[in-house]
C-alpha cells in the first residue's frame, strides 16, 4: 500500500499488505480473545476504554499528523478529530454499564424474567478514509466495551491510521486479539465476512460497498450496520438568521474538504431571502483559506486523492454543461497537489450530477424555494436520507418541519454532526442501523431473555 501525500502528489511511505495466512492467524486470535474478553466485567472494559482515551489525548498531535499526511485533512481539524475520539471513549467508559444493565419484565408469581445483553463475537469493521479515526472509534468504543472484539479493514490510503488505532488499544492495555487491523484489499472482505469466526459487520462507505457487505452477510445470516452516502439538505427559511446560516453553511459544506457524508450539499433557500443568503454565503465561502494542510491557518486542504478530485470536477463540469451557473470556484487549482476550491453553483437543472448524486468535495448547490412546503419537497427529493439542517427563528416551526424530512438526523439552527450522546444513522440509500449512544452499543449484542421459575 503506497501512501501518496495529496498535498504534493508524492509517495511518502509504503506498507506491506497482510497475507492470507496472516489474516487466518488474526481470525484465530480474535476468536480466542473473544472467549476471555466476553467474561471480563463491564467495569474492567470501561476502565480500559478510559485508558484508550488518555492514549489518544497524549498522542493527539502524532495521530493528527498521520491523518493529514495520508488523506489531507487540515491539521487543526485532525487534532479535533482525535479529541472527539477521546470524548467518545469517555462517554462509553462512563455510561456502558448503565446501557448494558439487564432489564426486568412482568412475570408470573414465583418467576423472574429479564433481558440480558451479551456480545456477539468478532465484528468486522470496514471503514473509510474521510474521518479515519472517528469512524473507527464510534464503532469500537461501544462494541468492544459490550464485549465484542474488532477486526478493522480500513481504507487502503490510510494504513498508517489503521495501525495507529491498533496501537492505541495496545498501549491502553487491551489483551492481544481484542482489536486488530488488517491491511488487506477489498476483495478479501467477502471471504472474511463469510468465515464462521466472524459474527457481524459494520461498514461506512459507498452504496455499492454497502450492498456487497449486506449481501454476503445476509447469505450467512450475520448482523450488519451500514452508514452510507448522503446528499444532505440545508434549508434556509424566510425567518432565518441569514448571517448565522451563511457562516455555518460555509463550514458545513467545506469542513474536511467537503468530504463528509453528512456535509450540507443542497442549500434550499426561501425566495424572500435567497439573494441575501447567497451573497453572504458566497462571501463566507470565498474567505476560507485553501492551502497546506499542515498549516494551522488552513481551512480547506487537498482532496484525499487525485482521482477523487477528477471525479468531483467531472460532476461540476457535467452540471454546468446542463445549465448550472458557477458563482465561485469550479476549476481545480493550478498548483501541486489535489486541490479543489470551495465552489458554489446555482440555477441547478433537475437531474444533473450535483442535483441527483452525492458530491464528495467542496461543492455547494444552491436552490430557491417559494415556500416551506416546496423546500421540504426538494429536501426529500433524493435517494439518500442521512441528515438535514433547517434554519428558522421559530423553533416550533423548525421542529414541525424536521418531522417531515426523511432522514435519520435533523438539526435545527445547527449543522449536522455525530455526537456520542445521541443515535446516528440514516434511512433509504443512506443505510440502516444506528451508531453511538445507547442505540449504538445495542447493535452488536444478543438481547437474551432469561426466564427463571
CATH of the domain at 76: 3.40.605.10
Report how far residue 105's alpha carbon sits from residue 98's, in angstroms, rounded to the nearest whole number: 17
In this structure, the answer to whether residues 197 and 51 fall within a common structural domain is yes
Report how far residue 54's alpha carbon sits from residue 349's, in angstroms, rounded to the nearest whole number: 50
pLDDT tens digits, one per residue of 14-28: 999 999 999 999 999
pLDDT tens digits, one per residue of 202-235: 999 999 999 999 999 999 999 999 999 999 999 9
Active site residue 443: no
- Say if 311 falls within a structural domain: yes
Number of other residues whose CB lies within 10 A of the CB of residue 334: 6
In this structure, the answer to whether residues 221 and 306 fall within a common structural domain is no
For range 373-391, the mean pLDDT: 98
Catalytic residue among 46, 227, 372, 443: 227
Where residue 156 falls (left for φ over 0; alpha for ψ -120 to 50; beta otherwise) is: alpha
Q: Cell numbers 441527483 correspond to what residue?
A: 356
Beta strands in 174-307 (DSSP E): 179-181, 200-204, 223-227, 232-236, 264-270
- Say if 421 falls within a structural domain: no
In this structure, the answer to whether residues 261 and 173 fall within a common structural domain is no
- Say if 308 falls within a structural domain: yes
The torsion defined by the Cα of 139, 145, 148 and 153, in degrees rounded to 10, comes to 30
Confidence of residue 2 (pLDDT cuts 50, 70, 90): very high
- Say if 422 falls within a structural domain: no
Angle at 366 (CA atoms; ends 363, 371), nearest 5 degrees: 155
In this structure, the answer to whether residues 184 and 202 fall within a common structural domain is yes
Structure confidence at residue 442 (pLDDT)? 98
Number of residues assigned to the chain: 453
Structure confidence at residue 199 (pLDDT)? 98
In this structure, the answer to whether residues 18 and 167 fall within a common structural domain is yes
In this structure, the answer to whether residues 263 and 204 fall within a common structural domain is no
The gap from C-alpha 148 to its chain's centroid, in whole angstroms, comes to 21
In this structure, the answer to whether residues 123 and 243 fall within a common structural domain is no
Strand partners, 65: none
Catalytic residue among 46, 261, 358, 429: 261
In this structure, the answer to whether residues 287 and 368 fall within a common structural domain is yes
In this structure, the answer to whether residues 294 and 404 fall within a common structural domain is yes
Angle at 248 (CA atoms; ends 268, 310), nearest 5 degrees: 70
Confidence of residue 279 (pLDDT cuts 50, 70, 90): very high
Number of structural domains in the chain = 2
Handedness of CA 38, 43, 48, 49 (dihedral sign): positive
- Say if 401 falls within a structural domain: yes
Per DSSP bridges, beta strands 149-153 and 2-5 are unpaired
Active site residue 85: no
Confidence of residue 163 (pLDDT cuts 50, 70, 90): very high
Structure confidence at residue 224 (pLDDT)? 98
All 3 cell numbers of residue 200?
Answer: 457481524
> What's the whole-number average pLDDT of the chain?
98
pLDDT tens digits, one per residue of 285-337: 999 999 999 999 999 999 999 999 999 999 999 999 999 999 999 999 999 99
In this structure, the answer to whether residues 407 and 437 fall within a common structural domain is no
CATH of the domain at 302: 3.40.309.10
Helices 159-172 and 134-145, axial angle in degrees (round to 10): 30
Range of the domain at 202: 2-228+428-452
In this structure, the answer to whether residues 308 and 381 fall within a common structural domain is yes
Structure confidence at residue 344 (pLDDT)? 99
Structure confidence at residue 432 (pLDDT)? 98
In this structure, the answer to whether residues 127 and 267 fall within a common structural domain is no
Structure confidence at residue 383 (pLDDT)? 98
For range 268-280, the mean pLDDT: 98
- Say if 417 falls within a structural domain: no
Amino acid at each position: 500500500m503506497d501512501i501518496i501525500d495529496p498535498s504534493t502528489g508524492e509517495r511518502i511511505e509504503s506498507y506491506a499488505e497482510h497475507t492470507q495466512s496472516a489474516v487466518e492467524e488474526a481470525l484465530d486470535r480474535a476468536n480466542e480473545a473473544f472467549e476471555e474478553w466476553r467474561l471480563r466485567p463491564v467495569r474492567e472494559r470501561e476502565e480500559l476504554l478510559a485508558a484508550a482515551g488518555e492514549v489518544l489525548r497524549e498522542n493527539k498531535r502524532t495521530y493528527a499528523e498521520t491523518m493529514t499526511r495520508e488523506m489531507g485533512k487540515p491539521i487543526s481539524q485532525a487534532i479535533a478529530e482525535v479529541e472527539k475520539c477521546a470524548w467518545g471513549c469517555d462517554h462509553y467508559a462512563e455510561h456502558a454499564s448503565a446501557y448494558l444493565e439487564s432489564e426486568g419484565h412482568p412475570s408470573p408469581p414465583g418467576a423472574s424474567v429479564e433481558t440480558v445483553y451479551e456480545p456477539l463475537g468478532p465484528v468486522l469493521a470496514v471503514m473509510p478514509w474521510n474521518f479515519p479515526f472517528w469512524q473507527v472509534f464510534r464503532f469500537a468504543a461501544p462494541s468492544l466495551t459490550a464485549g465484542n472484539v474488532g477486526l478493522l479493514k480500513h481504507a487502503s490510503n490510510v494504513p498508517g491510521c489503521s495501525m495507529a488505532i491498533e496501537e492505541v488499544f495496545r498501549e491502553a492495555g487491551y489483551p492481544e486479539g481484542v482489536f486488530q487491523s488488517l491491511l488487506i484489499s477489498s476483495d478479501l472482505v467477502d471471504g472474511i465476512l463469510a468465515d464462521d469466526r466472524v459474527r457481524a459487520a459494520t461498514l461506512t462507505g459507498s452504496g455499492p460497498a454497502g450492498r456487497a457487505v449486506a449481501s454476503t452477510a445476509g447469505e450467512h445470516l450475520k448482523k450488519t450496520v451500514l452508514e452510507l452516502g448522503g446528499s444532505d439538505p440545508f434549508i434556509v427559511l424566510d425567518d432565518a438568521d441569514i448571517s448565522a446560516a451563511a457562516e455555518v453553511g460555509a463550514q458545513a459544506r467545506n469542513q474536511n474538504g467537503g468530504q463528509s457524508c453528512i456535509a450540507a450539499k443542497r442549500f434550499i433557500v426561501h425566495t424572500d431571502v435567497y439573494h441575501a443568503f447567497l451573497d453572504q454565503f458566497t462571501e463566507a465561502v470565498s474567505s476560507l483559506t485553501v492551502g497546506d494542510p499542515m498549516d494551522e491557518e488552513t481551512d480547506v486542504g487537498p482532496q484525499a486523492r487525485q482521482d477523487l478530485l477528477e471525479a468531483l470536477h467531472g460532476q461540476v463540469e457535467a452540471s454546468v454543461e446542463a445549465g448550472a451557473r458557477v458563482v465561485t470556484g469550479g476549476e481545480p487549482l493550478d498548483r501541486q497537489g489535489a486541490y479543489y476550491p470551495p465552489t458554489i453553483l446555482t440555477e441547478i437543472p433537475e437531474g444533473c450530477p450535483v442535483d441527483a448524486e452525492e458530491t464528495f468535495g467542496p461543492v455547494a448547490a444552491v436552490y430557491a424555494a417559494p415556500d416551506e412546503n416546496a423546500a421540504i419537497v426538494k429536501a426529500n427529493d433524493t435517494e439518500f436520507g442521512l441528515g438535514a439542517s433547517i434554519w428558522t427563528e421559530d423553533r416550533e416551526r423548525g421542529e414541525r418541519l424536521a418531522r417531515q424530512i426523511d432522514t435519520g438526523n435533523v438539526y435545527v439552527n445547527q449543522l449536522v454532526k455525530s455526537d456520542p450522546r445521541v443515535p446516528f444513522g440514516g434511512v433509504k440509500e443512506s443505510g440502516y442501523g444506528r451508531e453511538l449512544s445507547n442505540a449504538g452499543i445495542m447493535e452488536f449484542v444478543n438481547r437474551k431473555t432469561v426466564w427463571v421459575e
